[in-house]
Amino acid sequence: MSLLDKLEKKFRYAGISNITLYLVFGQAMVFVLAMSGKSNILHAIILVPALVLQGEVWRIVTFLFMPPANHPIFLFFALYLFYIMGSALENYWGTFRYNVFLLIGYVATVAVSFLTPSSMASVTFLAGSVFLAFATLNPNFTLMLFFILPVKIKWLALLAWLGYGYTLLMGSWTSRLMVIASLCNYFVFFARDIALRFRSSRWKMERQAKEFARQNEPVHRCVVCGVTDKDNPDLTFRYCTKCAGTPCYCEEHINNHEHITTEAE
């Protein structure tokens, strides 16, 4: 039994049910307030560790309600997808495990943000981990891009992984740390499955390689010259019943060889 299983058994009823809905509602409300002229609200809630150290401790929590987009249409789709995917994860894992998943990403994000205290921490990558988790569990789920183009979510997840890889290679240290932090929860939950899948794939490849090798082994091989039916499919092979062990000969040597009288010979 894993540590997570033990914690779930002990704190099964702990956690916030429908936490995704609360996050979506909070982000939507902050967006409405920002658009109504209170744009300073965004500056007041975003996580800046240097300001937290100066006493603005609320930022450790309020940054979770930063809107993921600036345009109403993009915001709607971002929040809608986040709600759909987050709710699906909660239904699949249960409230406790889903809360732990978010909590790990949240704690890691806050922790690494203090490594660059003057920079602003983003909650975008944390939402990205929800997307990757959903895509891992539902790789064939289809999204209609622009309402007309059906795309399986596993391909969008691949693009996300490529984007994370690019950020790790070319991004700022703050962005790199945010990516690493946001993926902590993903690997805590999926590292075992990834390892099992890797071993299964390797075993499958080895089995296919052996099967390929077996299929390419010759059926007939001349004991004199070593030529096989794979070397020349049109060549005729015969087995000599006068020889001990009934060895195989090609058409050139079937009538032109010394008979083997004992298998030792």
Domain containing residue 154: CATH number: 1.20.1540.10
Residue 210 lies in a domain: no
Q: Which whole-number Å values give the CA distances from 183 to 16, 93, 126, 178, 190, in the listed order?
A: 22, 18, 8, 9, 10
Q: State the burial class of residue 248 (Cβ atoms within 10 Å of its Cβ: 0-12, 13-18, 19+).
A: buried
Same domain, 231 and 201: no
- Token pair 């450790």 is found at 60
130, pLDDT greater than 70: yes
83, pLDDT greater than 70: yes
Same domain, 191 and 222: no
Same domain, 188 and 226: no
Q: State the burial class of residue 81 (Cβ atoms within 10 Å of its Cβ: 0-12, 13-18, 19+).
A: middle
pLDDT for 263: 52
Same domain, 29 and 52: yes
264, pLDDT greater than 50: no
Same domain, 151 and 189: yes
pTM of the model: 0.72
Same domain, 105 and 161: yes
Same domain, 181 and 223: no
Condensed to tens digits (0 to 9), the pLDDT of residues 204-246 reads: 776 776 777 676 777 788 888 878 877 777 778 888 888 887 8
Condensed to tens digits (0 to 9), the pLDDT of residues 33-78 reads: 988 876 688 888 999 999 999 999 999 999 999 998 888 888 998 8
Domain that holds residue 41: 3-205
Residue 139 lies in a domain: yes
Residue 43 lies in a domain: yes
Q: Which whole-number Å values give the CA distances from 40 to 36, 51, 113, in the listed order?
A: 11, 15, 21
Structure tokens at 158: 């691949």
Angle at 47 between CA 29 and CA 172, to 5 degrees: 120
pLDDT for 79: 92
Q: 239: which residues sit within 8 A by CB, 6+ positions away?
A: 246, 247, 248, 249
Residue 122 lies in a domain: yes
Looking at the structure of the chain, the number of domains it has is 2
Same domain, 248 and 140: no
Residue 213 lies in a domain: no
Residue 261 lies in a domain: yes
Same domain, 190 and 236: no
Condensed to tens digits (0 to 9), the pLDDT of residues 133-172 reads: 999 999 898 887 767 888 898 999 999 999 999 989 988 8
pLDDT for 119: 84
Concatenated DSSP letters for 113-149?
Answer: HTTSTTSPB-SHHHHHHHHHHHHHH-TT-EEEETTTE
Same domain, 229 and 105: no
Query: What torsion, rounded to 10 degrees, do the Cα atoms 122, 123, 126, 128 define?
Result: -80
Share of the chain above pLDDT 90, in %: 29
Residue 211 lies in a domain: no
**Mean pLDDT of all residues in 93-119:** 89
